[in-house]
Amino acid sequence: MSHLVRIAPGALTIGHPLPWDVYDADGNVLLCQGYVIQTDSQLEQLFERGRFKPRVIEVPQKDTETSGNEAECNPFAHYPDYLHSLEKTLAMIASGKPEARKHLQDLAHAIEQACIRAPDSSLALIHLYSIGPTIHEQIIFYAILCQLIARQFGLDEQRIPLLTEAALSANLALVPVADKLNAFNKILSEEQRSVIRKHPQRSIRALKAVGIDNELLFTIIAQHHEQADGSGYPEGLSGADIRPEAEILALAERYVAMITKRAYRQRMNVTAARKLIANLADGTFRPALTKALLQILGEYPPGTLVRLENNEVGVITGRPIRARGPFVQVVFDPSGNNYDTRQERDTSEPVYNIRALEEPDIMPSMNFSRIWGFPD
């Protein structure tokens, strides 16, 4: 058994699925990933008794990375690895350690392989953990969306790894304050706004300090808050002066912001977010980019909860395939009781048509790996 580490206060929140399995001091599993804490007393007990197992991310080997299938690449199992690796990598950059670049590349490559081999479950991660994500979770979401949007858009394959590295590092200067800003329910002060507006340049300086020297990477980061109509920052660039990679990253950040909860506003459901994304094609983003994101999401993205015509409630696991689907694993029967076994529904069948989105403030507990059919 790998070394177990105490859970830090603030690492877990009520209503947010556990990002990793929780163990007791003897290495016995107390709660599985996907379990949702419901009460303050549960939270206190986990901080008192709970441990988690930090792991070093395993990077797929070059000669085997394309030979596997989705069943061999479980993004849910690797999610805690991504978070641990990201936190470690950004801390190394902030400390000026030159080996940080290799860690950044490894993490980008691991996320790339997950998105290629398991795109639906990778996309589901974003929606399953969207109620109150930490800044590190949000950054992982940006990287996943950048991967998916870039491929749907048709970005040159050689340019995607650098875009993913930019998604993982563009906000490193915000990491120390982001969670506090998200929890802030008042109008931001001028000092807070200044921190936000200067974070691309500060992130670039930190990357240069560890020996990274890639102008395209720096350009993507520098431009990811520019807007096609010239209203962005820091340079007020417009139109074709903005790299498409920078716009992809900006669009990924915008969508994640829409569907996540903040202290100062409620989160949007995916239907409202899709409408707003479609409107962003009118001068804010390249229309082909917003079209790519909408195609990836579909009407009901993987990871969203829906109620079916027969009154079952389930989670979208797969997008439509040739007039079938989207596909749902039902979690609750029509009476509201949990199903003990996997039950898939094809929502193109009338009895299983989707009646409505379910928008719980607290997600139900689910075993994500089992729902998506990955081996335990």
pLDDT at 160: 97
194: its two tokens: 């200044």
pLDDT at 65: 45
Tell me the domain boundaries of the chain: 5-52, 70-297, 305-371
pLDDT at 64: 45
Per-block mean pLDDT, blocks of 10 residues, the chain (376 long): 74 86 91 91 88 68 47 85 93 95 96 96 96 91 98 97 98 82 66 78 95 96 90 86 96 95 79 95 89 97 97 96 93 93 95 94 88 86
Question: What is the CATH architecture of 70-297?
Answer: Orthogonal Bundle (1.10)
18: its two tokens: 């556990």
86: its two tokens: 């990201």
23: its two tokens: 């163990």
pLDDT at 185: 62
The CA distance from 261 to 184, in Å, is 12
The CA distance from 86 to 2, in Å, is 19
